[in-house]
Amino acid sequence: MATFSVTRPRKSRVLTAVMALYLIYTLVPLVWLVINATKTQPTLFTTSGLAFGGPFALFDNIGETFTYDNGIFLRWLGNTLLYVVAGAGGATVLATAAGYGLAKYRFPGRRAVFAVVLGAVAVPGTALAVPTFLMFSELGLTNTPLAIIIPSLISPFGLYLIWVYAADAIPDELLEAARIDGAGEIRIFLTVTLRQLAPGIVTVALFTVVSTWNNYFLPLIMLSEPKWYPLTVGLNQWSAQASGAGAQPVYHLVLTGSLLTIVPLVIAFLLMQRYWQSGLSAGSVKQ
């Protein structure tokens, strides 16, 4: 019989195999994407999907992606950035302020707000898309960037996260000390609270950035003019033009565009993850 300890845990072959399979399952689509983004439109259909083949056309494809259809891809990239900065940025600010307020101030109706927020977490955004559309149509805001930015400002999950985080990470004593020193509530929020909440804010920012970046259904419903499309809807339009009479397939550009679309997200994760990790174990005051 083999002996095992905490420092040398027993290796489970089954578990290793399962995890290896899972790893492959997760990585294959990414590998497929990278490989196929290097192919030209004709070789895409004549070579195997998981092997390089034909001329290496990645850089040509990138160039063509940015110039195809009068450079609309760049416009979509700009739109996506706008929606992310205004929508996800705004959502993070709102969630931070509201979450902190709900965690640290006592006022009537707090429990009701709690119930509403929890309920809102449970409703998927897609279910609200059509009612939201009808509302925005009344306001005359459909087919404008505001139709994407305003609904993106609401992040019940982010609010909940900050709320829970603030309840633990910010001791009441700290706020009391600040008040005794004569700081106003706004000043406390800006100088004391924000720093304490930084890891939570980064987490919420990551979530909202990812969900706004990947948002598909809302812009699909709200926008009808390609000039306001984000990347997700625009790329789908490129993909859809491959079927029907007189089709113009540009699958190679769809793939290259998809690859380019995930790059900023990967960078955002790499940059923010150290704040995120350190935040999970951070405390503020030794008790």
Partner 1 sequence: MSRIHRRVKAAVAVAVALAAALAVGCSSGTDGPAAGSQDSVDAALKAGGTITYWSWTPSAKDQVAAFEKEFPNVKVNYVNAGTNKEQYTKLQNAIKAGSGAPDVAQIEYYALPQFALTESLANLDQYGFGAFEKDYAPSTWSSVRVNNGLYGLPQDSGPMALFYNKEVFDAHGIAVPKTWDEYVAAAKKLHTADPGKYLTSDTGDPGFATSMIWQAGGKPFAADGRNVKVDLADPGTKKWTATWNQLVEGKLLAPIKEWSDDWFRALGDGTIASLVTGAWMPGNFKSSVPGGAGKWAVAPMPTYDGQPVTAENGGSTQSVLKQSGNPALAAAFVRWLNHGNGVKPFIASGGFPATTADLNSPAFLDQADPYFGGQKINQVLNDASKNVAKGWSYLPYQTYANSVFSDTVGKAYLGGTSLDAGLNAWQQAIVDYGNQQGFTVSAG
Interface ranges with partner 1 (CB under 8 A): 42, 44-46, 49, 130, 133-134, 137-138, 140, 142-143, 220-221, 224-226, 236-237, 240-249, 251
Cα 229 to Cα 79, 136, 219: the distances in Å are: 7, 17, 7
The CB-of-262 to partner 1 minimum distance in angstroms stands at: 19
Cα angle 102, 103, 106; round to 5: 65
The answer to whether 201 and 94 have CB atoms below 8 angstroms apart is no
Cα 155 from Cα 200, distance rounded (Å): 14
Nearer to partner 1, 148 or 169 (CB): 148
The CB-of-200 to partner 1 minimum distance in angstroms stands at: 37
The CB-of-88 to partner 1 minimum distance in angstroms stands at: 25
Nearer to partner 1, 3 or 243 (CB): 243
Nearer to partner 1, 37 or 166 (CB): 37
Q: Residue length, the chain?
A: 287
Return the closest-CA partner of residue 155 out of 75, 98, 85, 214. Answer: 98
HEC string for 100-127: HHHHHCCCCCHHHHHHHHHHHHHCCHHH
Structure tokens at 35: 């490989």
For residue 90, the SS3 value is: helix
The CB-of-49 to partner 1 minimum distance in angstroms stands at: 7
Nearer to partner 1, 4 or 45 (CB): 45
Look up residue 143 and give its DSSP letter. T
The CB-of-47 to partner 1 minimum distance in angstroms stands at: 8
Nearer to partner 1, 109 or 244 (CB): 244
Cα 4 from Cα 10, distance rounded (Å): 6
The CB-of-216 to partner 1 minimum distance in angstroms stands at: 11
Nearer to partner 1, 172 or 225 (CB): 225
